[in-house]
């Protein structure tokens, strides 16, 4: 089984009494579904985790996601739809770089912003993100690149919601998230229809559907207990554990 945007649209249209053969209704329902998927992607579920390979260049510290330096060896290309980098996963030859929260933090860690000003190449120790790209410091020198031509790590990739025909392409989303996607699409439909219950229903989705999604186990064992995220007990509402 696989889930597509078209599958979600069909159910949402039925529940909200929309006719997908009518252009205006079809456009509205699609907007609600795409908003729902993008909202769900913000929460870094394993179904959207991918692995990258970054080909290094001596003296270069900035690697935009749009550059053709990402991908499998011998087939580098731009990094596709990166939502977020798993900062603790960036590594080379079994050694992890230390994630810094910003360029400012990296400048402090490396003494000053002058680490970018030539003749400071060496062994990269830190990594951060800036303007849709990775920054590593210090910039790798040629000896480092000769020994470690690439770095690896994880990132969270968004669904392809733009390429022509995407509506009928199987989503990376877990199939079991289907009902949660439908529910959230309905919430955004309420907003467009100026339903005053929109905010309450969005809060309800965050406190119920999202908690269920967070506790979802995509590889369960027959004897393990049902999981709940650590913060689940502190969310307002009635719970059965």
* Average per-residue pLDDT for the chain: 87
DSSP string spanning 135-189?
EEESPB-HHHHHH--EEEEEEEE----SSTTGGGSPPSS-GGGHHHHHHHHHHHH
148, 119: one domain: yes
- High-pLDDT (> 90) share of the chain, %: 61
In a domain, 105, yes or no: yes
98, 137: one domain: yes
For the segment 142-168, the average pLDDT, to the nearest whole number, is 93
In a domain, 15, yes or no: yes
In a domain, 237, yes or no: no
Domain count, the chain: 2
Task: Using only the alpha carbons of the chain, give its radius of gyration.
Answer: 22
Min mean pLDDT across 44-48, 71-75, 98-102, 216-220 is at 71-75
122, 207: one domain: no
> Residue 128 in contact with residue 106, Cβ under 8 Å?
yes
Cα separation of the two ends of the chain: 30
In a domain, 227, yes or no: no
57, 132: one domain: yes
101, 113: one domain: yes
pLDDT tens-digit map of 81-118: 888 889 899 999 989 999 999 999 999 999 999 998 87
182, 205: one domain: yes
pLDDT tens-digit map of 21-37: 999 999 999 999 999 99
pLDDT band at 192 (very low <50, low <70, confident <90, very high): confident
Residue 72: its pLDDT value, please? 62
55, 149: one domain: yes
127 pLDDT more than 50: yes
Segments forming the whole domain that contains residue 58? 48-157
59, 35: one domain: no
**Residue 138 tokens, joined:** 């210090």
In a domain, 162, yes or no: no
Residue 238: its pLDDT value, please? 53
CA nearest to 8, candidates 205, 164, 211, 171? 171
């Amino acid at each position: 089984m696989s889930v597509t945007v078209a599958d979600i649209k069909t159910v949402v249209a039925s529940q909200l009494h929309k006719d997908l053969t009518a252009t205006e209704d079809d456009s509205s329902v699609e907007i609600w579904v795409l908003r729902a998927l993008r909202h769900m992607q913000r929460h870094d579920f394993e179904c959207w985790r991918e692995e990258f390979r970054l080909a290094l260049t001596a003296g270069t510290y900035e690697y935009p996601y749009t550059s053709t330096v990402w991908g499998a060896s011998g087939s580098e290309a731009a990094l596709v739809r990166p939502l977020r980098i798993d900062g603790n996963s960036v590594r080379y030859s079994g050694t992890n770089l230390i994630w810094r929260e910003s360029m400012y933090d990296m400048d402090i860690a490396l003494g000053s912003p002058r680490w970018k000003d030539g003749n400071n190449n060496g062994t990269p120790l830190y990594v951060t993100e800036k303007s849709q790209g990775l920054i590593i410091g210090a910039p790798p020198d040629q000896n480092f690149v000769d020994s470690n031509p690439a770095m690896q790590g994880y990132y969270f990739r968004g669904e392809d919601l733009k390429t022509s025909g995407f509506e009928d392409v199987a989503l990376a989303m877990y199939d079991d998230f289907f009902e949660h996607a439908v529910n959230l699409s309905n919430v955004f439909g309420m907003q467009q229809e100026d339903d005053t219950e929109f905010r309450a229903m969005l809060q309800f989705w965050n406190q119920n559907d999202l908690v269920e999604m967070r506790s979802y186990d995509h590889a369960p064992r027959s004897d393990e207990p049902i999981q709940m995220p650590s913060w689940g007990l502190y969310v307002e509402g009635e719970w059965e554990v």
